[in-house]
Amino acid sequence: MLILGTASLSPCVSFPPSPKFPHPNPNLNHFLLSHPSFTPISLHPIQFPSRSKRLLSPNAPNFIVAASAKAEPLKVIISGAPASGKGTQCELITQKYGLVHISAGDLLRAEVAAASENGKLAKEYMEKEQLVPNEIVVMMVKERLLQLDSQQKGWLLDGYPRSSSQAAGLEDYGIRPDVFILLDVSEDILVERVVGRRLDPLTGKIYHLVYSPPKNDEIASRLTQRFDDTEEKVKLRLCTHHENVDDVLSVYKDITVKVNGNLTKENVFAQIDAALTHVVEQRKMNSRSVAA
* Count of CB atoms situated within 10 Å of the CB of 91: 14
For residues 256 and 236, what is the distance between their CA atoms, to the nearest angstrom? 26
Nearer to ligand AP5, 25 or 89 (CB): 89
Nearer to ligand AP5, 185 or 285 (CB): 185
Q: Least distance in Å: CB of 234 to ligand AP5? A: 7
Q: Least distance in Å: CB of 204 to ligand AP5? A: 11
**Using alpha carbons only, what angle is made at residue 243 by residues 240 and 247, rounded to the nearest 5 degrees?**
125
For residues 148 and 145, what is the distance between their CA atoms, to the nearest angstrom? 8
- Which stretches of the chain bind ligand AP5, using CB under 6 A? 80, 82-88, 104-105, 108, 125-126, 129-132, 137, 159-160, 162, 166, 193, 196-197, 206-208, 211-212, 237, 264-265, 268
Whether the Cβ atoms of residue 265 and residue 89 lie closer than 8 Å to each other: yes
For residues 282 and 279, what is the distance between their CA atoms, to the nearest angstrom? 5
For 142, residues 6+ apart whose C-beta sits below 8 A from its C-beta are 169, 170, 173, 175
Nearer to ligand AP5, 73 or 196 (CB): 196
Q: Least distance in Å: CB of 197 to ligand AP5? A: 3
Nearer to ligand AP5, 18 or 130 (CB): 130
Which of 198, 183, 206 has its CA nearest to residue 82? 183
Q: Least distance in Å: CB of 169 to ligand AP5? A: 10
Q: Which residue is nearest to ligand AP5 (CB)?
A: 105
Which residues does the annotation mark as catalytic? 86, 162, 197, 226, 237
